[in-house]
Structure 1
Amino acid sequence: MGVAVEEVLKLPVLEKAKVQTDLYDRQVDWISVIETPVENFVRNNEFVLSTGVGCGDDVLALEGYVEDVIRSEASVLAFATGRHLYKIPDRVLKLAEKHELVVMEIPWEIRFGDILQDVLRLISEEKRQEQQRTEEIRQELINCVLNGKGLQEITSIVYQNTGIPTAISDHNKQIRANQYFDRYYIDVLNGHELPQEGTLVETDIDSDHPLRHYIETYEIGNQKCYQLTILSNYKKQGYILFKPKNEKDLTWVNLHILDHALTACALYFVKENAIEMTEIRLKDNFLLDLAKQEREMDRALLSKAQLLGYDLEKPYICLVGHIRFVQPEEERTSSTMPQVKSSSINSRNYYIQKEVTHAGDTLHRRTMTTFDEGEVIVYLETDRPDYEETANQFLDLIERRLHELLKGITISWGISCHKGGYQAFNKSYEEAATALKIGQQHEEGERTFFSDTRMNRLLMALSHEEEIGAIVSDTLEKLIDYDQKRQTELIHTFMIYNKYNSNVSQTSRALNLHRQSLLHRLRNIEHLTGLSLLNADDLFLLELSVRLWLLKKVDA
């Protein structure tokens, strides 16, 4: 932020000043009176006034003084001639020209105070105009967002007012807007271009603007580009990328405009997130109502679904998943690992939603997804005859990618394909939820199709009969009590024994038990239940009782 040297020379107080060098393209940010020694009293782009006192008769001393001013990167050096200095030596002028320092002579009778006053007034007026301009640009950027325009308009305003190529990306480095920013540098920063890589280096922009401390600098070959992080609510929303032709373009004014653009981008992402969250809530509520309420497929429902981007006239299967996190063993036992969940609920649901959408796109199938109390509910478009194969392909895609993103996640699935018609979505959800409940008797991460649960559903219906419940309780009471008090697994042992058709060798291998230990457990089961595992009727009664008890346990 400063005034061009030509503008300073137009001041009436400097009308009689004589410029002894070329008028280089320099600007004046400040003005001061400095005599020898200079040391660190002169700043960059400063207009220096001097009488040459102590140097007038000593050319070498004067040359040293000018060298000090040059090192300070001042713009102008003006000598008051007529008392201590009568003429600036040619060797001093050549030195100044070599380093593009503007040197002038001012008549002795012109007071430094008058020069200081007029130059400072000019600089102040220039600053006021620049501040007014940047304020107008700030208002334009904010109005751009408030009036529903997007990130592309923001980059356009920045480029029009700074001439600096600019791009805006989201937090995943996906470019959302671009104004003459070289795509090559974007690819390098995203790791898509080799062999060169963008190297993060210390920012050395010569500016006192506060934004300087937030700029990240990347070296790409012998080029540099810059990045600002867009934050809102302490969350990283995206980045502003900009690449000036040279660092001189990063003036105080241009940095101020970039700062205002940063604010506008943060406001845009807040607005976008609010709209997205509202849309998500509307979709969630709609799908939950569709799944859990008996709804007639009338024109009003189809129209509402269409507004939300859903087509309910397509055939869908329903998948209900129970989400569970298991912390890896090495994390549980390591003293250096923090004992925290792998992911918050919001971010967990975000990743699941993302993978559901990706899997649907891969299979060219529509999907509708919502979440409810630790469950994910998905409606997947499919052709009914091969719905089991489609469901398995779909879940394979989700789980393979999801396990890489969220360590320790396990999802058990219940899957149903209703025949359609009245209340099709509600019926398919209830069937999928029933299949999930039945599948949870077994290992976590199981997939259970409603069509494969006929025996279990029959048992569930029987389990509600009081007399049957009494028989189950009488049969298993001592066995359940024994397992609970002694922390044994007699019921599980029986289920494995029954699975292998009473084969002792196969059961002992499956349970990793010595044969004699297994026989001891089986004798305990017979003793506690009063039933013989060699009697077919007793074996059937015990199996039926255990399965009914497990179903009721899951139902509870």
Structure 2
Amino acid sequence: MKLSHLLDLSAFHFRPVTGVSLDQDIRWVAVIDIPNAWNWIQEGQLLLTTGYTWPHDPEELQVFIARIAERRPVGIALAVPHFFEQFPEAAREEAERQGLAAFELPWEIPFGVLTEAIHKELLREHYVLLERSEQIHRALTQAVATLAGFRELARVLADLLDREVIFVGSGGEVLGAHPAVQPFLLPEFAYSLKGAVLKKEGVVSPIRVGEQLSGWVVVRGGKTPLSELDVRAAEHASVVAALQIVHERALSLQEARLGYAFFESLLDASESMSSQVIERAARLGFKKDLRFRLGAVQLHTPVPLSEAAFKAREALASDLRDALKSCSAPQLLSLQQNHVIFVLPEDHAPVQLWSRIRRPGCSMAFSRLYQGLSEVGLAYQDLQMMLPHSKEGQLHHYDDLLIPRVLAGDREARTAFLDDLFSRLPREDLRGTLMAFVQCGFQLKKTAMKLQVHINTLRYRLERISEATGWDLEDVQTRFKLQLADHLLLENHKK
């Protein structure tokens, strides 16, 4: 019940004598005609008095009113005329200074009748508040039970309160609002809230899932001042919103796990793909002819995983899924021991993803470029060969690790190295010219003599080789790879 409502009780003739705002809630009514009355005053009370114990000296009266104001009542009403002809000017000025609303009321009205009327009104308003709160709670619960999203929850609450309602995520993003609102800037004080509060900007209530802050409910606007009903409604909404978030997380986890299982089946699949597999992959974002790299984020931690490492892998997978979603890449993941496998389309730069996901104790590796569902297994084989050689804190491409693996004696790496090198040069005659050039120490005259061709013919052939492969045959790194290839071919020939 607001102080202003006292003026509507026409039978009691309350007359305000200060200019203090009457937009304050009365919690209870108390009569204070006893000495040292301030010891019995509680915050939010409306005080009734005959002035029997009030001092008549203006200075003492100011001190008396100041001590009452310290207890933070919402107002004080003096019955006149009797002990005072009217509300004393010194008391009135002090009440005004302290922000304490002051009233005169007729002496003839018994305090018992007055307190009964106000208490009945307080109880009636409290009953209406509980009834409306229950109505709001039922409506919100029904909405979330029917799997309504945040937009529908906002609409239901906005219609019941006749105000603007906004559900905000933990990152400040709008989850749902009615009427629609974009963008929305969350008030700074919201980040430190423990419970719902009523501020000038509106009512803000935090949404918590367990101990985690997951967002906020904001209620604002409307034709009438915000009240306790709005605070209660926001609190109800924050509980329902937490249930909605838990439900959405459960669905997301279930969908993710179904995606994991499907993706893992692709990693081990043969080249033949049924139409059902192709359709399901397309629904998950993997188009039939997609050009892609297969990637892996590795946690450099012992296997089997400890509980802490398992949680770290789950958090890594969640962050990776969000990063892939933000760049419209397929959200296909496979969680395997201490690493997470994923798909990255050709038009997305690995280095950008690594900069977003990078954290201590991790590395990231990427296969060669492949195309289509049938080549997912080949890309996976690349990663299986790479992961044992990846180094913590680094981003690896297939070519980066190929030569170290070759030098370490990895047979599969040797085969892959030679196949990749000579796939660019399919003509046998040009291969022979190239290897003769390597074996002759990259000397033109010596190579021409070995091949028994004119030196200009040799130059022409080497130009054709450079055009076909894109190699700079003067480049030191290219020459090293070619010399390594020659050494491997010689070893293979001896065997």
Quote the offset at 1:123 in angstroms.
Answer: 1.3
Q: Which residue of 1 aligns with 2:300?
A: 325
Query: Is the CA contact 1:314–1:381 (under 8 Å) kept in the aligned structure 2?
Result: no
Quote the offset at 1:2 in angstroms.
Answer: 5.5
Q: Note if 1:277 corresponds to 2:258.
A: no
Q: Which residue of 2 aligns with 1:214?
A: 195
Quote the offset at 1:163 in angstroms.
Answer: 6.4
Query: Is the CA contact 1:320–1:375 (under 8 Å) kept in the aligned structure 2?
Result: no
1:253 counterpart letter in structure 2: L
Quote the offset at 1:397 in angstroms.
Answer: 2.5
2:85 counterpart letter in structure 1: K
Distance 1:68 1:181, change over 3 A: farther
Q: Which residue of 1 aligns with 2:266?
A: 290
Q: Which residue of 1 aligns with 2:142?
A: 143
Q: Which residue of 2 aligns with 1:121?
A: 120
Residue 288 of structure 2 aligns to a residue in which SS?
A: coil
Q: Which residue of 2 aligns with 1:495?
A: none
Distance 1:161 1:81, change over 3 A: same
Q: Which residue of 2 aligns with 1:335?
A: none
Distance 1:152 1:103, change over 3 A: farther
Distance 1:291 1:434, change over 3 A: closer
Q: Which residue of 1 aligns with 2:103?
A: 102
Query: Is the CA contact 2:170–2:216 (under 8 Å) kept in the aligned structure 1?
Result: yes
CA offsets 1:486-505 (integer angstroms, 9 cap, x no match) = xxxxxxxxxxxxxxx9xxxx
TM-score by length of 1: 0.58
Quote the offset at 1:105 in angstroms.
Answer: 1.9
Please give the alpha-carbon distance, in whole angstroms, between the structure 1 residues aligned to 2:341 and 2:148.
Answer: 35
Q: Which residue of 1 aligns with 2:208?
A: 231
1:268 counterpart letter in structure 2: Q
Q: Which residue of 1 aligns with 2:318?
A: 350
Quote the offset at 1:48 in angstroms.
Answer: 1.9
Q: Which residue of 2 aligns with 1:37?
A: 36
How do 1:363-442 and structure 2 match up within 5 A? Answer: 368-381=332-345, 394-403=349-358, 406-415=359-368, 417=370, 424-425=373-374, 428-440=375-387, 442=389
2:241 to 262, 265, 272: 265
Q: Which runs of 5+ in 2 are unaligned?
A: 303-307, 417-440, 442-486
Distance 1:357 1:121, change over 3 A: closer
Please give the alpha-carbon distance, in whole angstroms, between the structure 1 residues aligned to 2:6 and 2:141.
Answer: 35
Residue 101 of structure 1 aligns to a residue in which SS?
A: strand
1:171 counterpart letter in structure 2: S
Distance 1:45 1:7, change over 3 A: farther
Query: Is the CA contact 1:78–1:105 (under 8 Å) kept in the aligned structure 2?
Result: no
CA offsets 1:263-302 (integer angstroms, 9 cap, x no match) = 1221121121122112112211222222224485333334
Please give the alpha-carbon distance, in whole angstroms, between the structure 2 residues aligned to 1:68 and 1:42.
Answer: 10
Please give the alpha-carbon distance, in whole angstroms, between the structure 1 residues aligned to 2:191 and 2:39.
Answer: 24
Quote the offset at 1:65 in angstroms.
Answer: 4.9
Q: Which runs of 5+ in 1 are unaligned?
A: 190-197, 204-211, 328-339, 383-389, 462-500, 502-538, 549-556
How many residue pairs match? The answer is: 404
1:54 counterpart letter in structure 2: T
Query: Is the CA contact 2:65–2:91 (under 8 Å) kept in the aligned structure 1?
Result: no
Q: Which residue of 1 aligns with 2:290?
A: 315
Quote the offset at 1:239 in angstroms.
Answer: 2.6
1:273 counterpart letter in structure 2: R
1:323 counterpart letter in structure 2: Q
Please give the alpha-carbon distance, in whole angstroms, between the structure 1 residues aligned to 2:80 and 2:253.
Answer: 72
1:34 counterpart letter in structure 2: I
Q: CA RMSD in A?
A: 4.8
Distance 1:294 1:113, change over 3 A: same
Distance 1:168 1:40, change over 3 A: farther
2:398 counterpart letter in structure 1: T
Please give the alpha-carbon distance, in whole angstroms, between the structure 1 residues aligned to 2:45 and 2:207.
Answer: 34
Distance 1:540 1:380, change over 3 A: closer
Quote the offset at 1:79 in angstroms.
Answer: 4.1
Residue 238 of structure 2 aligns to a residue in which SS?
A: helix
Please give the alpha-carbon distance, in whole angstroms, between the structure 2 residues aligned to 1:216 and 1:180.
Answer: 22
CA offsets 1:424-465 (integer angstroms, 9 cap, x no match) = 53xx3432333234335645354336999999339799xxxx
Distance 1:412 1:217, change over 3 A: farther
Identity of aligned residues (%): 13
CA offsets 1:105-151 (integer angstroms, 9 cap, x no match) = 2317x3x4444334323311221111111111122222222223332
Please give the alpha-carbon distance, in whole angstroms, between the structure 2 residues aligned to 1:441 and 1:301.
Answer: 31
Query: Is the CA contact 2:167–2:177 (under 8 Å) kept in the aligned structure 1?
Result: yes
Please give the alpha-carbon distance, in whole angstroms, between the structure 2 residues aligned to 1:214 and 1:149.
Answer: 25
Distance 1:68 1:20, change over 3 A: farther
Distance 1:56 1:401, change over 3 A: closer
Query: Is the CA contact 2:42–2:73 (under 8 Å) kept in the aligned structure 1?
Result: yes
TM-score by length of 2: 0.65
2:14 to 19, 25, 31: 19
Distance 1:79 1:290, change over 3 A: same
2:103 counterpart letter in structure 1: V
Please give the alpha-carbon distance, in whole angstroms, between the structure 2 residues aligned to 1:436 and 1:446.
Answer: 10
1:370 counterpart letter in structure 2: S
Query: Is the CA contact 1:21–1:93 (under 8 Å) kept in the aligned structure 2?
Result: no
CA offsets 1:497-534 (integer angstroms, 9 cap, x no match) = xxxx9xxxxxxxxxxxxxxxxxxxxxxxxxxxxxxxxx
Residue 28 of structure 1 aligns to a residue in which SS?
A: coil
Quote the offset at 1:410 in angstroms.
Answer: 1.0
Please give the alpha-carbon distance, in whole angstroms, between the structure 1 residues aligned to 2:27 and 2:197.
Answer: 26
Query: Is the CA contact 1:305–1:311 (under 8 Å) kept in the aligned structure 2?
Result: yes
Query: Is the CA contact 1:3–1:126 (under 8 Å) kept in the aligned structure 2?
Result: no
2:382 counterpart letter in structure 1: A
Q: Which residue of 2 aligns with 1:46?
A: 45
Q: Note if 1:9 corresponds to 2:9.
A: yes
Distance 1:46 1:378, change over 3 A: closer
Please give the alpha-carbon distance, in whole angstroms, between the structure 2 residues aligned to 1:169 and 1:201.
Answer: 11
Query: Is the CA contact 1:78–1:106 (under 8 Å) kept in the aligned structure 2?
Result: no
Q: Which residue of 2 aligns with 1:527?
A: none
Query: Is the CA contact 2:29–2:45 (under 8 Å) kept in the aligned structure 1?
Result: yes
Distance 1:107 1:295, change over 3 A: farther
Please give the alpha-carbon distance, in whole angstroms, between the structure 1 residues aligned to 2:59 and 2:488.
Answer: 115
CA offsets 1:212-255 (integer angstroms, 9 cap, x no match) = 8535899xxxx86775432113323223346679xx95533222
Please give the alpha-carbon distance, in whole angstroms, between the structure 1 residues aligned to 2:191 and 2:289.
Answer: 56
Query: Is the CA contact 1:28–1:47 (under 8 Å) kept in the aligned structure 2?
Result: yes
How do 1:57-206 and structure 2 match up within 5 A? Answer: 65=64, 68-69=67-68, 72=71, 74-80=73-79, 85=83, 87-88=85-86, 91=89, 95=93, 98=96, 100-107=101-108, 110=110, 112-160=111-159, 166-179=165-178, 186=185, 198=188
1:19 counterpart letter in structure 2: F
Distance 1:62 1:433, change over 3 A: closer
Residue 363 of structure 2 aligns to a residue in which SS?
A: strand
Please give the alpha-carbon distance, in whole angstroms, between the structure 2 residues aligned to 1:258 and 1:374.
Answer: 43
Query: Is the CA contact 1:367–1:380 (under 8 Å) kept in the aligned structure 2?
Result: no
